[in-house]
Amino acid sequence: MKRSRVVLVAAVALVPLAVPRSVQAANGEFLYTTVADRTQSVRHRSLKEPENGRCHILNTAPSEYRVIREQNKTDVPATVFAGNNCTGQTGTIAVGATQNSCDGGTPCWESVRFLPPA
């Protein structure tokens, strides 16, 4: 009985180590605003506790909508991408920062990735 308890305690202690860092989530929210090109209707969206390492698509209809504003209220910097699958030109939105896009030479960001803290 004593040996099985030791094995169980050792196995439970290793569980947090078995979860890849990329599955962990950034704490907080990433807020973004889209506008329709034809109707100018505005939509406010958010990613709550976004998964680190995963590509999050912000704009599923880039031919109809543009992402015009991003606000990073998470605890890690956000890498934004001009391509819909975390490809193309990149930018960084610092923790707590707000940025306007599709304006004054800033690309229209289509996707975002959060990297786990080092």
What's the predicted TM-score (pTM) here? 0.76
pLDDT in the model for residue 19: 47
Residue pair 115/53 in contact (Cβ under 8 Å)? The answer is yes
Q: What angle do CA 72, 56, 87 make, to 5 degrees?
A: 100
Fold of 21-114: Gamma-B Crystallin; domain 1 (2.60.20)
Q: Is the pLDDT of residue 24 over 60?
A: yes
Average pLDDT over residues 92-114: 94
Which has more confidence, 110 or 14?
110
Judged against a pLDDT cut of 80, whether residue 6 lies above it is answered with no
Domains of the chain, by residue range, sit at 21-114
Q: Is the pLDDT of residue 14 over 80?
A: no
